[in-house]
Structure 1
């Protein structure tokens, strides 16, 4: 009997046990829950010849940051190409492109693949989410591009918790907050343990300015979420951010030390770096004293995991950490070697952080002004890029341009006007 996955795609295994473990692994990838590696390991233990089980294991290892193990799993899948369907062969090739760093080629291949296999969720997920291949493409208008991608796929999935949550995020990032929230709640009703759904609901609540509701919801949801899961640290960042906005700095530091900072968070290095550097600087902007040692710690972490440039979102946060820690050599390296499709923005942002650290506010303004019109190309969500919005507001305040700062926050990020977390900017603007 032909086995199929949860989306009715045929699988090259005769084992029902392997099939069940594979489906559990795929759901773990789609829902960002802990245990995906173990699920795929069970699948290939039961059926060592199950090629997609090995591909899934490779993907699970990528999501846990173990690239060496991912390469081993994908090489094993390569040895099993004989007799595979076109769809399954594409999995091996696509994840090979991803693992070898050929992001643009992989993105194009995913787009082509879903035209023939729109319900192939393991492939489609590579281009969903703000941290996917579209989100990190460096393209102008990538938020609209992401919305178009999920909008085209949505009719093929029906009432599927994963696709509904992905499309809800696309709606959220294009300003359609009410529609996003409604669809997100429907997705979470279908699968309450979907961490991506919970994450995206946190984004919708942030964009709606519902700070207390967001804190209460996320704190309750995190109780049942494994600290080893890929999104635990990042969801904790959201919680710490809300604690900062309410002025509860004691809770903010506790969350950072328990779940966000290096040595506490168990997520991917890019999340540990970006979340930690971001919350530290946003705390400083709000008038909180941030010990120098915290900046030195995250600067060292960035130097360890992101010693070379090329991932723009990581690069701008590494530059921030180095600038605030006073690590001139590492900062200079980011500026001098910036590469990738968004290097034209990474360089001025990095220079801007240097100027901010030296309190040269006019130079900081000159560096960051050209970036503000297109910083979505750097990647990340609107909530994450508020780091740049708030830094820019602070520069204007330091230069005495208070009225301009107020106009700017009202026009660019009105959600921040009720509780603008920058010292010196009046509340209720």
Structure 2
């Protein structure tokens, strides 16, 4: 039997109950709330021959860090594919490419799929967000590409809370902050539990320097968000970052230890490594002391979860953790990385962290310059790449180029200019 999901896409399933569970799960997946995996399992229990139920389960397991489980679910979906429609077969093919670890091919397949079926949100979402396939493409202009992608999709979704939040982030990352905030508020009015919209609102408030408003907003919003939710740890990082900017050291470490650092939350490993390394280093730049044991624990966690370099955004932060903990062998592996969408930038970034750890500021400057020139290729948001901006300003300061450090921040990231989050720089 062929029926339609909440977005009007065809589903081959023998029972409306499977469709109903699927719709609930998709809503949770798109809103980054906890429990989507369990709901997709219920959809499959209601109809063990429901191919797209297995696909959605594979995606949920991926987001939970369970790659063996994702591959098992995709194998079931591919077995059932011949009994489904052309749209569903295309849907299955796209996710199979993703699970197989073929991001370039997956991105091309997503584009081809959404040209025909733009409201297939489970597939469309793979290229949205700064952590999607466009965000981690390693290409110059990927922020403009992301805006172009969501702009193309928007007319097909109307007043849809999920697509509004995705497009709002694209606007935020390309400088249209006011328009982004307006759209985010509309999204949250339709679904106040959308963690993606709450996340992207935090980004917009960060971009306009609304530290206290951001702290108040996240402190309130996080009270109703399950700690097991996929974005809980990263939203806690945003809150910790604002505490740091506000000079609230006690709250900073309470937040870090409650949901950011290794073994304290339920974040995906990529967020644990990148968020923890960033907040530690930004705390040090602001003049705080980070215990050596913190860096050592992060380096060990990173080596365990990412034993081989090759994911450029992780590599940049992994190198920082290894450098600050004095793990030279681990750092050397990143300095020599030959894989990853921006490995040519991960290598000098790793060399820069090593030089900073040794206090070799000129060497650090020479290695940071090529990274900053194309930092968008590394991935992540502007807020995350501010790690590099602030590090560059600090290196200039260490070289006695204080006026240049101030000028660089005021021109490149004026939202960081007041108050200056680098110890030793006076506005």
Offset from partner CA, 1:28-58 (integer Å, 9 cap, x none): 1111010011010000000000000011000
* Rounded Cα–Cα distance in structure 2 between residues aligned with 1:405 and 1:387: 14
* Rounded Cα–Cα distance in structure 2 between residues aligned with 1:333 and 1:422: 29
Offset from partner CA, 1:53-111 (integer Å, 9 cap, x none): 01100000001000111111111111111221111111221111111110000001101
Offset from partner CA, 1:353-385 (integer Å, 9 cap, x none): 000000100100011012112100000000000
**4+ residue segments displaced more than 3 Å:** none
C-alpha RMSD over aligned residues: 0.8
TM-aligned CA deviation for residue 16 of structure 1: 1.5
Equivalent in the alignment of 1:29: 29
Q: Does 1:139 align with 2:139?
A: yes
Change (3 A) 1:338 1:297: farther
* Rounded Cα–Cα distance in structure 1 between residues aligned with 2:121 and 2:22: 13
Equivalent in the alignment of 1:412: 412
Equivalent in the alignment of 2:80: 80
Equivalent in the alignment of 1:299: 299
Change (3 A) 1:338 1:280: farther
Equivalent in the alignment of 2:269: 269
Equivalent in the alignment of 1:228: 228
Equivalent in the alignment of 2:344: 344
Equivalent in the alignment of 1:157: 157
Counterparts of residues 94-105 of structure 1 (less than 5 Å):
94-105=94-105
* Rounded Cα–Cα distance in structure 2 between residues aligned with 1:291 and 1:35: 36
TM-aligned CA deviation for residue 330 of structure 1: 0.3
3-state DSSP of counterpart to 2:137:
coil
* Rounded Cα–Cα distance in structure 2 between residues aligned with 1:334 and 1:124: 32
* Rounded Cα–Cα distance in structure 2 between residues aligned with 1:275 and 1:338: 24
1:171–1:180 contact (8 Å) kept in structure 2:
yes
TM-aligned CA deviation for residue 2 of structure 1: 4.1
Structure 1: any 5+ residue segments left out of the alignment?
Answer: none
Farther-moved stretch of structure 1 (62-71 vs 80-89): 80-89
Equivalent in the alignment of 1:378: 378
* Rounded Cα–Cα distance in structure 2 between residues aligned with 1:112 and 1:332: 40
Structure-2-length-normalised TM-score: 0.99
Counterparts of residues 232-251 of structure 1 (less than 5 Å):
232-251=232-251
Equivalent in the alignment of 1:118: 118
TM-aligned CA deviation for residue 4 of structure 1: 1.0
Q: Does 1:359 align with 2:359?
A: yes
* Rounded Cα–Cα distance in structure 1 between residues aligned with 2:265 and 2:302: 14
3-state DSSP of counterpart to 2:359:
coil
* Rounded Cα–Cα distance in structure 1 between residues aligned with 2:219 and 2:3: 39
Equivalent in the alignment of 2:423: 423
Counterparts of residues 143-292 of structure 1 (less than 5 Å):
143-292=143-292
TM-aligned CA deviation for residue 337 of structure 1: 2.4
3-state DSSP of counterpart to 2:247:
coil
1:338–1:346 contact (8 Å) kept in structure 2:
no
* Rounded Cα–Cα distance in structure 2 between residues aligned with 1:38 and 1:243: 35
* Rounded Cα–Cα distance in structure 1 between residues aligned with 2:372 and 2:338: 18
